[in-house]
Amino acid sequence: MESKNVVLPPPCPKWSWWDLVLVLVMLLALIPVTGFLKNYIMQAIAALEVTGNSPQTLALFMGAFIQAAVIILAVSLLTWRKRGTRKDLGLISDDLIYNLFMGVAGGAVLAVVIWIMGLIVFWIFGPPPPQDIEKLLTGVKSGGDLLLPFISVAVLAPLSEEIYFRGMVFPVVRARFGPAAGMLLSGLFFGALHMDIYRVLPISAMGFVLAYFYERTGSLVTPIIAHSAWNSIMLLILYIGSR
């Protein structure tokens, strides 16, 4: 399946290296400020009875929600200050069906690639410590308790991370070093910021592939869907494994 109207990422992005740092600084600065609302929001969610009311479930959701809110707010403010548009962030689609297809197919490819890399890491270093989501799913009692974890890892994380890492970081690095180096370096940056030494290489590879999807389609829709699809597959596998 091939798109006839592929638009490449902006060759001269409106963002600078300092803008990339500024988003991270805002993230670090605003999370403590918004933290005082955490208990109130968690109580409201619990009152809606849309989850098993596990403190771990609510903590996971709140972490993803605050991260997404801060990143989207920071990027929106920078876009407004730079007189940018959603096109500058790649939030366009000249061929939505193609972008969706590439995203879903890309998520499946990512699942295979990351699974193979995970086996290699396991073979070399032994079993890594479980992630928070793995610990969380061991206490899930029913499929309904997956609602907030799903929103956290399959909606909020892909949306906010793709807007920043592929929408802002990749074009800046690409403009300086070229497409191939841009994909590699932005992928390594993506992996490093997850701060998981056991999974830094698989996550970096994931970042490389997601940047490739953006380069290939010119639309951030593709890596967002691919990221979401991969996270959904991971969540499903972990849930089935925990049963």
What's the pLDDT score for residue 114?
Answer: 86
Angle at 154 between CA 202 and CA 138, to 5 degrees: 80
Compute CA distances 213 → 7, 27, 87, 170, 187, whole Å: 12, 26, 16, 12, 12
Q: For residue 120, what pLDDT is reported?
A: 85
Say if residues 99 and 224 touch (Cβ distance below 8 Å).
no
Structural tokens at position 159:
């949306």
Q: In the prediction, which pLDDT does 42 show?
A: 65
- pLDDT at residue 33, rounded to an integer: 64
Q: Which pLDDT does position 94 carry in this prediction?
A: 83
User: What percent of the chain shows pLDDT beyond 90?
Assistant: 34
Q: Is the dihedral of CA 132, 137, 140, 145 positive or negative?
A: positive
Question: Cα–Cα distances in Å, from 107 out to 100, 123, 232?
Answer: 11, 24, 9
Supply angle C-alpha 224, 29, 80, rounded to 5.
55
What is the pLDDT at residue 238? 79
Q: CA torsion angle for 233, 239, 240, 242 (degrees, to 10)?
A: 140
The reported pLDDT for the residue numbered 20 is: 92
What is the DSSP annotation of 33-44?
Answer: HHHTTHHHHHHH
Q: Tell me, what's the pLDDT at 195? A: 82
User: pTM for this structure?
Assistant: 0.86
Domain range summary for the chain, segments of one domain joined by +: 17-242
Q: What is the pLDDT of residue 207?
A: 95
Q: What pLDDT sits at residue 7? A: 57
Give the type of residue at 142. Answer: S
What is the reported pLDDT for 206? 93
pLDDT tens for the chain, 243 residues: list them: 555 555 565 567 888 899 999 888 887 776 666 666 666 666 666 666 655 556 667 777 777 888 888 889 889 988 888 888 888 888 988 888 999 999 999 999 888 888 888 888 888 877 777 777 776 666 666 666 778 888 888 999 999 999 999 999 999 999 999 999 999 999 999 999 888 888 888 899 999 999 999 999 989 999 999 999 999 988 888 777 766
Who contacts 32 (Cβ-Cβ below 8 Å, separation ≥6)?
A: none
pLDDT of residue 196: 83
Nearest one of 154, 156, 16 to 88, comparing CA atoms: 16
**To which H or E segment does residue 199 belong?**
none
Q: Give pLDDT, residue 92.
A: 87
Helices marked H in the chain: 17-35, 38-48, 55-81, 96-125, 132-137, 147-151, 157-161, 170-177, 179-193, 200-217, 221-242
What pLDDT does 150 receive?
87
Q: How far is CA 175 from CA 6, 92, 168, 179, 195, in A?
A: 18, 20, 11, 8, 26
